[in-house]
Amino acid sequence: MTRTPYDPEAEGAQMSFDDHMSYGDYLHLDKILTAQSPLSAAHDEMLFIVQHQASEIWMRLVIHELTSVCDHIARDDLAPSFKMLARVSRILDQLNSAWDVLRTMTPSEYTTFREALGMSSGFQSFQYRAIEFLAGNKNAAMMRPHEHRPAIHAWLKEILQAPSIYDQSIRLLVRKGFAIDKSVTDRNCALPYHANDSVRDAWLTIYRNPEAHWPLYELAEKLVDFEDYFRRWRFNHVTTVERIIGFKTGTGGTSGVNYLRKMLDVVLFPELWNVRTDL
């Protein structure tokens, strides 16, 4: 028996978009899908471009969420920040999965287009730098690759100098009555954070009696979740690069895998990890 082809218009679906906004219009797909411009004839360069562009789009959302987290914590409005931090952790999980796709590219395939990359390198990602600054890994030296883009440089400087999500969390502890050293509360937020005993003691009090401090306890665990997934992303980056280029120098002039391994030693929220030993 011959079946009549299904026609969505018969059920009321909009099929003509001369005067209506379509799916592609709303998402600006004409811009997104024409942004892949390989510089070589190598088949795998398209994979390399798409993987990194997709990651940058996810990072755009991470920045959106973390910026809002800082604002909500500063206003003692914790419930929305829990949802946002949980979302960021899921995004980082997506970014981790992206490395699995890139790892299908072999060293031989990468060498067919590596020279086309010139001095461009992932460590120059201004969005990644913004995420690091928002999370508290402040390093003004990492802004220099963006000096040729004044608007981006100014934006990063603003994030560098602003309180990170951990700075905001510590200020929240003060507002909730915990005694935090002034060296922490009055510190220059543009500088790297260093662990402090008074902050550790505050989190220890919270972890020893979660029921009495449940919102702060939940915030602490959401921050740990975030850093856990962030560490996995960094680790998968290292193993992916080592699998593809070994210990060669990175395209941007860094030491490659050795540079990335140094990033694995960065701890964003030290007291939240140290308190586990103290409990």
Average pLDDT across the chain, whole number: 92
Closest C-alpha to 153, from 183, 179, 129, 180: 129
Burial class (CB in 10 A: 0-12, 13-18, 19+), 230: buried
**43 labelled ligand-binding:** no
What is the dotted CATH code of the domain comprising 44-277?
1.20.58.480
Residue-level pLDDT at 211:
97
**206 labelled ligand-binding:** no
Q: What does the alpha-carbon distance between residue 35 and residue 27 come to, in Å, rounded to a whole number? A: 14
C-alpha 255 chain-centroid distance:
22
**174 labelled ligand-binding:** no
Between the CA of residue 221 and those of 3, 65, 90, 199, 203, what are the distances in Å?
56, 17, 15, 15, 11
- DSSP 8-class letter at 44: T
Residue-level pLDDT at 216:
98
pLDDT at position 53 over 80: yes
Q: What does the alpha-carbon distance between residue 16 and residue 26 come to, in Å, rounded to a whole number? A: 15
Q: What does the alpha-carbon distance between residue 124 and residue 142 come to, in Å, rounded to a whole number? A: 8
Q: What is the pLDDT of residues 159-201, one digit of tens each?
A: 999 999 999 999 999 999 999 999 999 999 999 999 999 999 9
Residue-level pLDDT at 250:
60
Closest C-alpha to 52, from 112, 101, 108, 89: 101
State mean pLDDT over 111-138. Answer: 91
Q: What is the pLDDT of residues 136-159, one digit of tens each?
A: 999 999 999 999 999 999 999 999
Residue-level pLDDT at 269:
97
Residue-level pLDDT at 32:
96
Supply the pTM of this predicted model: 0.91
State mean pLDDT over 82-92. Answer: 97
Domain boundaries, the chain: 44-277
**165 labelled ligand-binding:** no
pLDDT at position 236 over 70: yes
pLDDT at position 60 over 60: yes
**110 labelled ligand-binding:** yes
List the structure tokens of 245: 């280029």
Are 90 and 127 in contact by the 8 Å Cβ rule? The answer is no
- DSSP 8-class letter at 67: H
**127 labelled ligand-binding:** no
**6 labelled ligand-binding:** no
Are 265 and 192 in contact by the 8 Å Cβ rule? The answer is no
State mean pLDDT over 16-34. Answer: 93
State mean pLDDT over 247-267. Answer: 69
Least confident of 28-42, 70-84, 187-201, 264-278: 264-278
Residue-level pLDDT at 259:
66
Least confident of 25-39, 115-129, 152-166, 254-268: 254-268
pLDDT at position 255 over 60: no
Report long-range pairs for 245-251 (Cβ below 8 Å, ≥24 apart). Answer: 245/107, 245/110, 245/114, 246/107, 250/121, 250/123, 251/114, 251/117, 251/118, 251/119, 251/120, 251/121
